[in-house]
Amino acid sequence: MAAAAAAAFSSSAPSPTSPSRLTTVSSSSLPSSLSLSRDFHKAQLQAQFKSSPRRNLCVCASSLPPSDSVVTLLDYGAGNVRSVRNAIRHLGFQIKDVQTPADILNADRLIFPGVGAFAPAMDVLNKTGMAEALCAYIEKDRPFLGICLGLQLLFESSTENGPVTGLGLIPGVVGKFDASNGFRVPHIGWDALQIAEDSEILDEIGNRHVYFVHSYRALPSEENKEWISSTCNYGDTFISSVRRGNVHAVQFHPEKSGDVGLSVLRRFLLPKSFPPKKPTDGRASKLAKRVIACLDVRANDKGDLVVTKGDQYDVRENTEENEVRNLGKPVELAGQYYLDGADEVSFLNITGFRDFPLGDLPMLQVLRNTSENVFVPLTVGGGIRDFTDSTGKYYSSLEVASEYFRSGADKISIGSDAVYAAEEYLITKVKTGKTSIEQISRVYGNQAVVVSIDPRRVYLSTPTDVEFKAIKLTNPGPNGEEYAWYQCTVSGGREGRPIGAYELAKAVEELGAGEILLNCIDCDGQGKGFDIDLIKLISDAVSIPVIASSGAGAAEHFSEVFKKTNASAALAAGIFHRKEVPIGSVKEHLWKDGIEVRI
Ligand code: 1PR
C-alpha cells in the first residue's frame, strides 16, 4: 500500500506544465469576492450553477492576482484533495503543488490535506524527504494548515495499523475511537466544537457545526495542552484543532463544511484581513443528524444524463412513450441542494451495474463540475466492481473507485458487488482482501466506503419460515402476515439474492464498510414514510452509521425515523426534486422537535 501511495504521489502530482498549474481562475474566484456578503455569495453561486457549461476566464498577465495569492499544496496522491483544491480556487487563490522538499521550504503558506491511512502517508513523507522539510518548515513557524490526517501526522505516533511513528511535533498518540460505548465509528458528520482559545482561523465558527469524517483521533493531555485550540466531544473529548503561532491544523474538513468551513480557509489564507473576532450565531451542541439529498442519475432515451426518480425503482413514466422520468440536471440540482442546506449530496449512477463507469465520462464530469462549487460531502455510487472491457483489459474496483475520488467524490457507494461479496464471505468466513469493500477501504479508509442496500420485503406467516433474520412487522402484510424478512437485490432491484439485509449489513461491516445506505424498494417514491422496522433492525445490528432512505413524504417522517431508530442520517429524493418539502423546512421541523441538525 505504501508503494501504491508512493506511485500515486508521482503520478498524481501535476507536472509543471499540467493545466492545473496554469493561472486560470474563474471570474467568481478573484480576490474581490472575498469580502462579499453571504447573501451576495449565495446569489453568485446560484448564477454559477445555472450557467452551463461553466465559464472559466483565462486571466491575462495584467489581471493576475498578486504573488501572495499562491498557496502551496502538499498532495501525496492518496485520495481526494480535489475538494481542497476547489475550495482554495473558489477563494481566489492559485495552487502550487509540492514537487520536491524544497517547495515546502520555499512556501509562503502551505496546506497539507492528509488523506488515507497514517502509515502509508508517513512512508511517502519519509521516502521523499518531505517529512524532514515539513518539520523544518513548521519549526520555523511558517504559515501551515494541516487537515484531518494532516493534523494527526503532527503527533508522535498512531495506533492505525501500528504503532507507526509520526512527525513528532506534538506530544501524544493518535488512537481509534472506542465504539464500545455506543458511539458509532467512523465519526461521520457535522459536530460542534468547544473552542478553547482564540484561534483566529476558527473565529467565525462559533456555535455552528463542522464536518468530520475519521476513525482515529488525538486526545488532549498535559503535554499537548498548549497546542489545543478546540476540542470536540464524541464519546470522549478529542482534539479537533491545534494552533501554535502560524501553525494550524484541524481534524475536521473545512473544505466540506460549507460557508463555515470556507471561513476557516479564508482566515488562514488572509489572516490580516479580518477583525479579531466576528460575532457568530448558531446552536450546535453535538453531532447532528444529517439530511441528505439523493440524485439518481442515468442517461435518458436521448442519451442525456438526467436526474430521475423511481416509483419502487421503476423510473419510467406511466405513459405510452414510457420515457425515463426527467427531474432535472444533476449539477444544477446538486448545487441548489447545497445552497438549500443539504448536509451531503449523493449521486447514484443507477445503470452503473450494466455500464462500465469509467466509460461514463458524463457522470465523471458531473462530479467534477459539482465539486467545484459544492462544499459538503459528495457520495457517488453505481458500477463499482472489477471489470474487464471488450478488449480484455481488466480494471479493479479500486481503479474504478479511484477515478470517482479523483473526480470529486468523498465517499463511494457499492451496491450489487457488496451483495456478492457478503454472500461469499458468509459461506467461506474468509476475508480474501480482494473484495471491492476491502480493497477500497484499505487504501482510502473505511469512512470512504458506503454500502448501498436495496432490500425488498418478503412477508411471512411465521418467523421460522426462512433462514434469514425475520422481524415482527408493525403493520401486517397484505394477507395479514405478521412477519417479514428483507431480501437483498442486485442490478437495481431486478434480481433477488439469497441473503437478507440484516446478514448483509453485518457482513459488510466486518469486511470494512464505513457506512450503510439503507434503501427499501417497497417504500421508494411512495411518500408514506421510511420503513421504521427495517431501519431499526439494521441500525441496531451494526456500529457503523446507517443512512435511512426511501419513502420520505413530509418533514414529520424525518423526525419519526430519528426518534424511533438509531439512523445517523436520512436521505430523500422525490420530495426535494419535486419541491414538495424544502430541505430548510425539514431541518426547522427537526430542530423544533428537539433533534440536533445543522442549520
Ligand atoms: O449496484 O453498485 O451498480 O449500484 C447501483 C446503485 O443505484 C445502488 O445504490 C442502487 O440503490 C441504485 N439504483 C439502482 N436502480 C435504481 C432505481 O431506482 N431503479 N436507485 C436505483 C435507488 C434509491 C434511493 C432513492 C431513495 C429515496 N434509488 O437512493 O433515492 O429510495 O427516494 P424517495 O425519497 O423518493 O423515496 P451498483
Tens-place pLDDT, residues 500-547: 999 999 999 999 999 999 999 999 999 999 999 999 999 999 999 999
Residue 268 neighbours by CB under 8 Å, 6+ apart: 109, 111, 143, 145, 201, 248
Q: What pLDDT, on the 0 to 100 scale, is given for residue 14?
A: 32
Res. 19: pLDDT tops 50: no
Q: What pLDDT, on the 0 to 100 scale, is given for residue 465?
A: 80
Tens-place pLDDT, residues 352-401: 767 666 666 678 899 999 999 999 999 999 989 998 877 888 999 999 99
Residue 77, phi-psi category: left (phi > 0), alpha (psi -120 to 50), beta (remainder): left
Q: For residue 292, give the nearest of 134, 410, 466 by alpha carbon.
A: 410
Query: Which residue pairs, CB below 8 angstroms and at least 24 apart, start in 65-70?
Result: 65/25, 65/30, 65/31, 65/92, 65/93, 65/94, 68/108, 69/31, 69/93, 69/94, 70/94, 70/95, 70/96, 70/108
Amino acid making up residue 323: E
Catalytic residue set: 148, 253, 255, 296, 454
Tens-place pLDDT, residues 552-579: 999 999 999 999 999 999 999 999 999 9
- Cell (9 digits) for 339: 445552497
When pLDDT is cut at 50, 70 and 90, the band that residue 318 belongs to is: confident
Which string of b and e fits 536-553 if b means at least 16 CB within 10 Å? bbbbebbebbbbbbbbbb
Q: Compute the C-alpha angle 446/117/542, nearest 5°.
A: 20
Q: For residue 94, give the nearest of 22, 145, 32, 150 by alpha carbon.
A: 22
* Residue range 214-232: mean pLDDT, rounded: 96
Q: Is 79 marked within a binding site? A: no
Res. 20: pLDDT tops 60: no
Closest ligand 1 atom number to CA of residue 417: 2
How far, in Å, is the centroid of ligand 1 from the Cα of 319?
22
How far, in Å, is the centroid of ligand 1 from the Cα of 91?
35
User: How many angstroms separate the CA atoms of 592 and 583, rounded?
Assistant: 14
Q: For residue 460, give the nearest of 438, 443, 482 by alpha carbon.
A: 482
How far, in Å, is the centroid of ligand 1 from the Cα of 13?
35
Do 457 and 520 form a contact (C-beta atoms < 8 A)? yes
Q: What pLDDT, on the 0 to 100 scale, is given for residue 162?
A: 78
Tally of CA atoms within 13 A in the half-sphere of 568 that contains its CB: 27
CA-CA-CA-CA dihedral for 325, 331, 333, 336, to nearest 10: 180
Res. 230: pLDDT tops 80: yes
Tens-place pLDDT, residues 63-102: 334 457 899 999 877 667 888 999 999 999 999 999 999 9
Ligand 1: which of 347, 348, 535 to mutate, most ligand atoms within 8 Å of CB? Answer: 348
* Residue range 307-328: mean pLDDT, rounded: 89
Q: For residue 443, give the nearest of 90, 49, 121 by alpha carbon.
A: 121
Res. 6: pLDDT tops 60: no
Ligand 1: which of 416, 522, 524 to mutate, most ligand atoms within 8 Å of CB? Answer: 524
- Cell (9 digits) for 274: 479580518
User: Strand 378-381 relative to strand 344-349: parallel, antiparallel, unpaired?
Assistant: parallel
Do 146 and 174 form a contact (C-beta atoms < 8 A)? no
User: How many angstroms separate the CA atoms of 404 and 367, rounded?
Assistant: 8
Give the whole-number percent of the chain exceeding pLDDT 70. 85
DSSP annotation of 105 reads H
Three-state secondary structure call for residue 393: coil
DSSP annotation of 91 reads T
How far, in Å, is the centroid of ligand 1 from the Cα of 418?
14
When pLDDT is cut at 50, 70 and 90, the band that residue 299 belongs to is: confident
Three-state secondary structure call for residue 158: strand
- Considering only CA atoms, give the Rg of the chain: 23
- Report the chain's mean pLDDT, rounded to a whole number: 86
Q: Which of 464 and 193 is assigned the larger pLDDT?
A: 193
Q: Which of 55 and 465 is assigned the larger pLDDT?
A: 465
Tens-place pLDDT, residues 131-176: 999 999 999 999 999 999 999 999 999 999 879 999 999 999 999 9
* Residue range 38-61: mean pLDDT, rounded: 38
Burial class of residue 87 (count of CB atoms within 10 Å of its CB; 0-12, 13-18, 19+): buried
Do 510 and 543 form a contact (C-beta atoms < 8 A)? no
Please indicate whether residue 353, judged by its CB atom, sits closer than 6 Å to ligand 1: yes
Burial class of residue 241 (count of CB atoms within 10 Å of its CB; 0-12, 13-18, 19+): buried
Q: How many CB atoms lie within 10 A of CB 472?
A: 11
> 9-13, 263-267, 282-286, 584-588: which has the minimum mean pLDDT?
9-13
Q: What pLDDT, on the 0 to 100 scale, is given for residue 181?
A: 80
Q: What pLDDT, on the 0 to 100 scale, is given for residue 359?
A: 63
Do 444 and 401 form a contact (C-beta atoms < 8 A)? yes
Q: Which of 19 and 573 is assigned the larger pLDDT?
A: 573
Residue 416 neighbours by CB under 8 Å, 6+ apart: 353, 385, 490, 491
Q: What pLDDT, on the 0 to 100 scale, is given for residue 52?
A: 36
Residues paired with 144 in a beta bridge: 110, 247
Query: Which residue pairs, CB below 8 angstroms and at least 24 apart, start in 12-16?
Result: 12/75, 12/77, 12/406, 13/75, 13/77, 13/97, 13/98, 13/99, 14/97, 16/99
Residue 370 neighbours by CB under 8 Å, 6+ apart: 330, 331, 334, 335, 345, 347, 378, 408
User: Strand 110-114 relative to strand 144-148: parallel, antiparallel, unpaired?
Assistant: parallel
Do 271 and 35 form a contact (C-beta atoms < 8 A)? no
Ligand 1: which of 550, 557, 558, 561 to mutate, most ligand atoms within 8 Å of CB? Answer: 550
* Residue range 284-308: mean pLDDT, rounded: 92
* Residue range 427-446: mean pLDDT, rounded: 93
Please indicate whether residue 294, judged by its CB atom, sits closer than 6 Å to ligand 1: yes
Q: What pLDDT, on the 0 to 100 scale, is given for residue 278?
A: 61
User: How many angstroms separate the CA atoms of 489 and 291, rounded?
Assistant: 25
Q: Is 383 marked within a binding site? A: yes
Burial class of residue 302 (count of CB atoms within 10 Å of its CB; 0-12, 13-18, 19+): exposed
User: How many angstroms separate the CA atoms of 26 and 288, rounded?
Assistant: 33
Burial class of residue 37 (count of CB atoms within 10 Å of its CB; 0-12, 13-18, 19+): exposed
